[in-house]
Structure 1
Amino acid sequence: MTIRIAMWSGPRNLSTAMMYSFAARGDCRVVDEPFYAAYLDQTGACHPMRDAVLRSQDRDPERVAETLISPVLEPVFYQKHMAHHMLPGWNDAWMAAVQHVFLIRHPARVVASDARKREAPVLDDLGFVQQTQIFDQVGGGVVVDSSDIRADPSDMLPKLCNKIGVPWTENMLSWSAGGHSGDGIWAAHWYNAVHASTGFDGAEGILPVLEGAYADLVDAAMPHYEALAAHKIT
């Protein structure tokens, strides 16, 4: 039986490195943000490489969901999801067939990083609200903080594997530079740093100090981050 892992994250949150980590196991299929084109199609959101993303993926959320629960050969199926890609009203029956993991990161770090790639991010773009909504919707799940993983991946990743019932392997600590065949087409815009990596970056430094609208955005996201952080693996 395949263990299916829905990893719910927001942007700029170690999510691609985590996908590479699971892909490096050798027994795991990965999929990169499968609902992205459907989200762009239905919201009309203007994102970098929008047209290329729409051409690269199925835009029908029902068909996308079916691929996430259909039989696969691998014993582990890792699904990298952006929480804000799941729109209200979509059929969520598929969620009962997967394990839910929530990858969180302090809002100040997320906002500072996202602002370097995109002008004027707003709360709905960052996934904090949607993460807490999905957590409540599915009745909880495993929560892991990206800063804890970066601080000590050889400690946190075995704990995560134990929680989701997959065997730990040190293969998860490193991968080949240059990207993965499962990368979404948007990798050319967003993944340059992780493509140059062969493992997790070291521990994060002090929190960035933000001002103005960026500081307001951090304040709005904090209650959602803290609600999930109360449940995180330690």
Structure 2
Amino acid sequence: MADQSSELQKPEKDRRKQGLTIYSGRRKDSGGGTDAHAPTDRRIPRVFSQALSVSIPLSHSAPASCTPLHREMTLKLSTSPCMQHFSKLRVDRPYRDEVLSMMEYNGHKVVKDTIYGSGSKKYRYCKHISKQRLFGLPTELMSKGKHFILIRNPLNILPSFEKVQPPSFLELGLGELVSIYSDLCQMGTPPPVIDADELQRDPENTLRGLCDDLEIPFQASMLKWEAGPIPEDGVWAPWWYKSVHESTGFSSPKKYPRIFPLSHYDLLEQSLPLYNILRSHVKHKSSLLSCPLPPPSLPVPENAKLLAWVGDEILPREMAKVSVFDSVVQGGDSVWEGLRIYKGKIFKLEEHLDRMFDSVKALAFDNVPSREEIKEAIFRTLITNGMFDNTHIRLSLTRGKKVTSGMSPTFNRYGCTLIVLAEWKPPVYDNDGGIVLVTATTRRNSPNNLDSKIHHNNLLNNILAKIESSNAKAADAIMLDKDGFVSETNATNIFMVKRGRVLTPHADYCLPGITRATVWTTGTMGELSPVVQIDGRVIGEGKVGPVTRTLQNAYKNLTEDSGVLIPTYQAA
């Protein structure tokens, strides 16, 4: 087990340490048996790392070792011109001389004798500090055994540093933790990661999950121990382990956090992304919510690893986010378009961009990206994802980020935010068998209130209608205007064939669709979807008729014959 960071405390002052790297090791015993376990790194306050050193080893009668490689690192840090760690931090470790005099300095010997030496127990448990990672040690230290990493949120750790020493990125040890995690993954043995906050909030389930990952039995005795020191404590125990020595189990977290010192704000910005990288691999997460939801399955699993354009860059799915100060968050102040890609071409791209810029003008956006800039972002996003067919794009342009929360567009001084969200997405309706619609009680916006010709993100009335259709087990809901005439569905244009004529509502109460200009129903996401039932009443014979099939074929031919070619696309 490795201790990730080292903030100093006087013996009489009870402080929680910032971060610990934990190596959990299972060794081959003399009877032959199981594989050896090497350390695994994770950041956690010292009180938790040492608590684990008491909890797990004692429950399994396992010998524990508290930072067995600490002396060699201390010696190197004190003598190497490249690693003057203590002098750089201007922190005098009062136990330095004891470490140098009492502990083994040869790291190879420590690995051989202490970590992998002979013994009668089935498990051996070690911890070490990630920032004191040593290179050049035997490769078996990483390749053998089972490792786990312990982390803690720098938002919770940094306030404790201020009372003892100036914090630094090196002191936090997150860079080394990510490196260790990456190295273990490359070896094919990604280590379990546990979060100190989760351990404190829910110790039993966190430890049960960890034991499952390490393939060791959980024991209830892991949750309780006798107060006082243990023989495996290092010489630094009086400075670091006072709270652990006084404890008999994992204490409940305080309800409210400490005030965060703004002097550490820059360091928080630097370190939090690395913490989040590691935390994304925590399996057993608790939540402030009473019933946190499990991760959902995706309609198209391939979309779990997609890249999206946000602002002026392409980001992985889980990093593709807008600011809480963005206008789309502050009031739905945004416009959008839906685009489809067929065989290397973007269908009706120019027409969709025409409509987007009409909406932008109607909403008086400032600092709008040019048409060519938007097209370039679309092309780059598609090419980077390798998406040239069977793809749908949700193209959004928000008024942009505000300098402070509020309704006024005068607060928008950063320029617009462009979002290109491309997904693998087949048509969302049953276009072969037909769909069922119901009539919603929610009415379409009147142009006297909000012009439906503006393709904006204020879609609450559409969403309310969609809720009605979902409750009725229908595909969508037909929305009426204020006078009771058909306007559109909650998501598409609607058409009707009567006596050989195609009928469709006037566009005053609905969005003039790009697809609508050519064919008789729906929109970009669903293509052309025949309707076979409305409000329980069968339409025609209740199946797709010849006129609809003719229109579907014509639409298919249109998508093949037209569209803007994506650069670099080569047909198979």
Runs of 4+ in 1 over 4 A off after TM superposition: none
The one-letter amino acid paired with 2:184 is V
1:79 aligns with 2:126: yes
**1:43 counterpart (77, 80, 93):** 77
101 and 156 in structure 1: CA distance in 2 versus 1, 3 angstrom threshold: same
* Counterpart position of 2:222: 172
Match for residue 34 of structure 1?
A: 68
2:170 counterpart residue number: 124
Q: Which is further off, 198-207 or 97-106?
A: 198-207
Which position in structure 2 is the counterpart of 1:230? 280
Shift, 1:88, TM fit: 3.8
- 1:142 aligned to which of 188, 192, 209: 192
Calculate percent identity across the aligned residue pairs: 25
**CA deviation string 1:161-217 (max 9, x = no partner):** 011000110010011111111000100111111110000111343443323442222
Report SS of the residue matched to 1:214: helix
Paired residue total: 233
Q: 2:115 aligns with which of 57, 60, 68?
A: 68
Distance in 2, matches of 1:177 and 1:91, equals 36
Mean Cα deviation higher: 156-165 or 62-71? 62-71
Provide the C-alpha distance between the structure 1 equivalents of 2:280 and 2:158, rounded to a whole number of angstroms.
21
Aligned to 2:210: 160
d(CA) in 1 for partners of 2:254, 2:275: 17
- 2: CA distance, partners of 1:197 / 1:142: 26
Structure 1 unmatched runs, 5+? none
In structure 2, the CA distance between the partners of 1:144 and 1:11, relative to structure 1 (3 Å rule), is closer
CA contact (8 A) 1:24 1:174 kept: no
Q: Which piece of structure 1 moves more, 167-176 or 62-71?
A: 62-71
In the alignment, the residues of structure 1 paired with residue 50 and residue 71 of structure 2 have an alpha-carbon distance, to the nearest angstrom, of: 18
The residue type paired with residue 168 of structure 1 is F
Amino acid at match of 1:181: P
* Deviation per residue, 1:44-96 (Å, 9 max, x gap): 23334111122221112111222312332211111111111213444443211
Secondary structure of the structure 1 residue equivalent to 2:100: helix
| Contact 2:44–2:152 (Cα < 8 Å) also in 1 | no
| Secondary structure in structure 1 of the residue aligned to 2:234 | coil
**Take 1:7 and 1:114, find their aligned partners in 2: how far apart are those partners?**
24
Q: 1:25 aligns with which of 59, 68, 71?
A: 59
**Which consecutive residues of structure 2, in runs of 5 or more, have no partner in the other structure?**
1-32, 79-84, 87-92, 285-572
Contact 2:41 2:148 (C-alpha < 8 Å) held by counterparts = yes
The alignment partner of 1:95 has SS state of: helix
1:182 lines up with 2:232 in the alignment = yes
- Using the TM superposition, give the Cα deviation of residue 102 of structure 1 relative to its aligned residue in structure 2, in angstroms: 0.6
Letter in 1 for 2:41: W
- Whole-Å separation in 2 of the counterparts to 1:5 and 1:168: 19
Higher mean C-alpha deviation, range 88-97 or range 196-205: 88-97
CA contact (8 A) 1:151 1:204 kept: no
Which entry has the higher C-alpha Rg, 1 or 2? Answer: 2
CA contact (8 A) 1:29 1:76 kept: yes
Q: Which residue does 1:103 correspond to in 2?
A: 150
CA distance in 1, matches of 2:40, 2:184: 13
Q: Which has the higher helix share?
A: 1
> Distance in 1 between the 2:173 and 2:195 partners?
14
Say what the alpha-carbon RMSD is for the aligned residues: 1.9
1:211 corresponding residue in structure 2: 261
Give the aligned residue type for 1:18: L
SS of 1:31's partner is strand
Q: How far 1:104 moved relative to its partner?
A: 0.8
Q: Would you say the 8 A contact 1:7–1:100 is kept in 2?
A: yes
Aligned pair 1:197/2:244, yes or no? no
For 1:11 and 1:62, the matched residues in 2 are separated by: 26
Q: Structure 1 residues 100 and 69 mapped into 2: Cα distance closer, same or farther (>3 Å)?
A: same
Rounded to whole Å, the distance in 2 between the matches of 1:204 and 1:174 is 20
The code of the aligned residue for 2:140 comes to A
Structure with greater contact order relative to length (CA < 8 Å, sep ≥ 6):
1
Residue 11 of structure 1 and its aligned partner are, at CA, apart by 6.0
Which residue number corresponds to residue 15 of structure 1? 49
The secondary structure found in structure 2 opposite 1:80 is strand
My pick for the range that moved more, 82-91 or 126-135, is 82-91
AA matched with 1:29: P
2:273 and 2:218 map into 1 onto residues whose CA distance is 32
Other-structure match for 2:477: none
After TM superposition, give the deviation of residue 27 of structure 1 in Å.
2.5
State yes or no: 1:6 paired with 2:6: no
